[in-house]
Structure 1
Amino acid sequence: MSTRKKILIVGATSGIAEAVARQYAAEGCTFALVARAQDKLEVVASDLSARGATGMFSYVWDAAEPKQFPDVVERAWRDLGEVDVALIAHGTLPEQARAAVDLDYAIEQFRTNGESAIVCMLALAPRFEAQGRGTLAVIGSVAGDRGRPSNFLYGAAKSSVEAFASGMRGRLFKRGVNLLLIKPGFVATPMTAGLDLPKKLTATPERVARTIVDAVSARKAVIYVPWFWQIIMTIIKVIPTFIFKKLGL
């Protein structure tokens, strides 16, 4: 992979995004970082600079304000000139039990994990099309493969992202742009810190980041990370509905 790429990361303070950025920083890349907390952005930017990044821009944006995102995109392209890779990595992990009884909370969480990611893709796509090259990468989830009682609000949001990305992929392909959908399973990040995750099925952000960087280089369309989640979810998807609803997974 060539060095000194220009990387735009939305949700740059998330565990996976920060690990991906560190991979690129070691190659001397230039960054445009987007997140909602200025203080956290400054910490990440300082860390990446120490690891070899050759340029740094940062912008504060809250996913709860999707209409403001096109302005962020305009600033990023003005500052960077062009973008080789854009990674959409922001999100939350909703409490399913609360979402079942708190409608405002449910709507907010769906918008953060579904609508705002779609808005990001819509705003970024024309810029990449004008370039005629580059990679637009978005983090989905294995949860989007099939709704389960434990997290179906989150799964529904990620499913919407996947469906949208699938359609946009065909549009961008005709302009020389790749769209990569990343579908992580369990990952040990601050977002999942309070969960009792099975160790054998849980990956580190660093492992996920290496897979993402390699997938961008290979211009892949969809990846499960780690790879074995594709097998797990294939099995889950083919379980007949009359059995699946009794399992309560």
Structure 2
Amino acid sequence: MNQNTDKTILILGANSDVAKQCILQYVAKGFSVIAASRNTKSLEQLILRNNLDPSKIQILYFDAADFASHQKFYEELLTKPNTVVYAAGFLVDNEKALKDFKGTQQMMVTNYMGAVSILNIIAMDESNKNLERIIGLSSLSGVRGRKSNFVYGSTKAAFTTYLSGLRQELALKKITINVLISGYINTKINAGLDLNKSLLMEPDYVAKHIVGAGNSFIIVPNFKWKLIYLILKVLPESLVAKLP
């Protein structure tokens, strides 16, 4: 009998390319998955396309921007999760974000505010003795402010900071918090962007680092991105200002 058959994973923003790969990998390891997204039809197609056991996957509607619905969404879960993955994300071009606040606001809501709203509810539920881990998907863009993407980056920086504090808050309860800080991923959110192809990671590769998360707070997939992450952390502000 698979040791994970009694463990449940809740994936919020489950329609992202990385999240879909997480679904496949969690199910392959014997976990039950609650896949929550606004686009439930796409998730239904994922099950059919990959011939997945529907008894192992529950598809629910979840809107990160609809804060008022979050409490009800969580309370109505038939099984409270052992692991929660927040994978919802939104990106608009920096120049557009600077000129049109709608795009900026949607990034703030999806990447940060929606995450804090639902994760606070989950983390503060004293009745859920199952909760073992919360994983948030952040970005290298949030490590330092750079003029090419600082609006998007600021939402990811806020999310990373939130998760860092949540880690301290839940430490005594032995709940592990991880933040995945990724570089460029070959996903629909990055489609059309002029990215260095040699640095692109595939969604299944990134998903492996999420599904296999250990105790380290920060997870940076790929040795090239680990190096870039470390350089960005220590680079003097005068040099960061010269980056694109």
Please give the TM-score of this superposition, normalised by the length of structure 2: 0.91
CA contact (8 A) 1:27 1:52 kept: no
Match of 1:101 in 2: 99
Q: Which residue of 1 aligns with 2:59?
A: 58
Counterpart of 2:70 in structure 1 is: 69
Aligned counterpart, 2:38: 36
Matches within 5 A, 1:84-95: 84-95=82-93
Q: Counterpart in 2 of 1:16? A: 18
Q: Which has the higher helix share?
A: 1
Distance 1:46 1:198 in 2: 34
Q: 1:28·1:53 contact (CA, 8 Å) conserved in 2? A: no
How far does the alpha carbon of each residue in 1:119-165 deviate from its partner, in whole angstroms, 9 at most, with x for none? 12212102377416411111011111001111111110000001111
Contact preservation (8 Å) 1:128, 1:134 = no
Q: Structure 1 regions of 5+ residues with no counterpart?
A: none
Change (3 A) 1:158 1:54: same
Is the alpha carbon distance of 1:118 and 1:211 closer, same or farther for their aligned partners in structure 2, counting shifts above 3 Å? same
Distance in 2, Cα, partners of 1:46 & 1:72: 25
SS in 2 for 1:137: strand
Contact 1:135 1:178 in 2 (8 A): yes
Report the equivalent of 1:144: 142
Distance 1:130 1:6, change over 3 A: closer
**Superposition TM-score, scaled by structure 1 size:** 0.89
String of CA shifts for 1:165-217, please: whole Å, max 9, x gaps: 111101112112111111111111111121232222111111111111111xx
Aligned residues, how many? 242
- Residue 27 (structure 1) aligns with: 29
The answer as to 2:232 corresponding to 1:236 is yes
CA distance in 2, matches of 1:39, 1:73: 21
Contact 1:185 1:229 in 2 (8 A): yes
Match of 1:229, as an amino acid?
Answer: W
Equivalence for 1:113: 111
d(CA) in 1 for partners of 2:134 and 2:48? 25
Cα distance in 1 for partners of 2:102, 2:194 equals 27
RMSD: 2.0
Spell out, residue by residue over 1:88-122, the C-alpha distance to the aligned partner (whole angstroms, 9 max, x if none): 00111222111111123322222221111121221
Partner Cα separation in structure 2 for residue 210 and residue 154 of structure 1:
25
Q: Tell me if the contact between 1:20 and 1:212 (Cα under 8 Å) persists in the aligned partners.
A: yes
Task: Say whether 1:127 aligns with 2:125.
Answer: yes
